[in-house]
């Protein structure tokens, strides 16, 4: 999809890159509080493999990204997608910077286990507690290459633009990125009390 030519009503101003995967921190917490239930549904080795992967991404930091990318990050903004997930962080950035964006939801990195757990509990993984980072930049290709060379799952997920519309453009119908409500993790109800200290 050629995002730059899709809509003539705005001007392209930069790329949006995600380092890390959607909902990984939330998935890790769900595995803690729903362990027995999930062991009945998923293979234990699959859960263990995910846990080792989640530990890696929990240690992902802005310093690690800067070290991996160096001068490629010149004039780039880096934010952490935490409570409210990736979509919550994108909405806040757009409001804080008075800009618009066009997002391809299917381009956002996500593990199959996160997809399946979110489907099981009817959660939106893109609004689930995350430990990933979002980079707003001009040179997305060099940044992606540098981060992938450092073993960090990375993808370009959209563009920044001059209007104020925050749109998801790869669904059957274009959708707006709405103001975030509570993080999806809270839909687990009383169980959230067990893990509040992990936020």
Domains of the chain as residue ranges with CATH? 11-187 (3.90.650.10)
What is the strand order of the sheet 12-19 is part of?
77-81, 132-137, 12-19, 154-161, 100-103, 166-168, 175-176
Per-residue pLDDT 10s for the chain (199 aa) are: 444 444 556 688 999 999 999 999 998 888 888 888 888 887 776 666 666 566 666 678 999 999 999 999 988 999 999 999 999 999 999 999 999 999 999 999 999 889 999 999 999 999 999 999 999 999 899 999 999 999 999 999 999 999 999 999 998 888 999 998 889 999 987 556 666 565 5
Full-model pTM: 0.88
Instruction: Classify 124 as helix, strand or coil.
Output: coil
Distance CA 7, CA 34 (A): 44
Distance CA 146, CA 68 (A): 6
Total Cβ atoms within 10 A of residue 35:
11
């Amino acid at each position: 999809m050629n995002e730059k030519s899709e809509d003539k009503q705005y001007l392209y101003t930069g790329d949006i890159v995600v380092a890390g995967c959607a909902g990984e921190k939330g998935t890790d917490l769900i595995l803690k509080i729903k362990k027995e239930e999930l062991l009945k549904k998923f293979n234990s080795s699959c859960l263990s493999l995910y846990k080792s992967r989640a530990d890696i991404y929990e240690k992902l930091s802005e310093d690690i990204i800067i070290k991996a990318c160096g001068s490629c990050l010149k004039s780039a903004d880096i934010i952490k997608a935490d409570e409210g997930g990736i979509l919550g962080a994108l909405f806040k950035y757009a409001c804080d910077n008075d800009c618009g964006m066009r997002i391809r939801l299917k381009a956002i990195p996500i593990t199959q286990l996160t997809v399946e757990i979110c489907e099981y509990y009817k959660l939106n993984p893109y609004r689930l507690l995350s430990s990933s980072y979002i980079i707003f930049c001009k040179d997305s290709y060099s940044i992606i290459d540098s981060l992938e060379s450092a073993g960090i799952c990375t993808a370009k997920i959209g563009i920044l633009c001059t209007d104020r519309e925050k749109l998801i453009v790869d669904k059957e119908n274009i959708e707006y990125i709405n103001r975030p409500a509570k993080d999806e993790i809270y839909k687990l109800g009383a169980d959230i009390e067990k893990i509040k200290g992990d936020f």
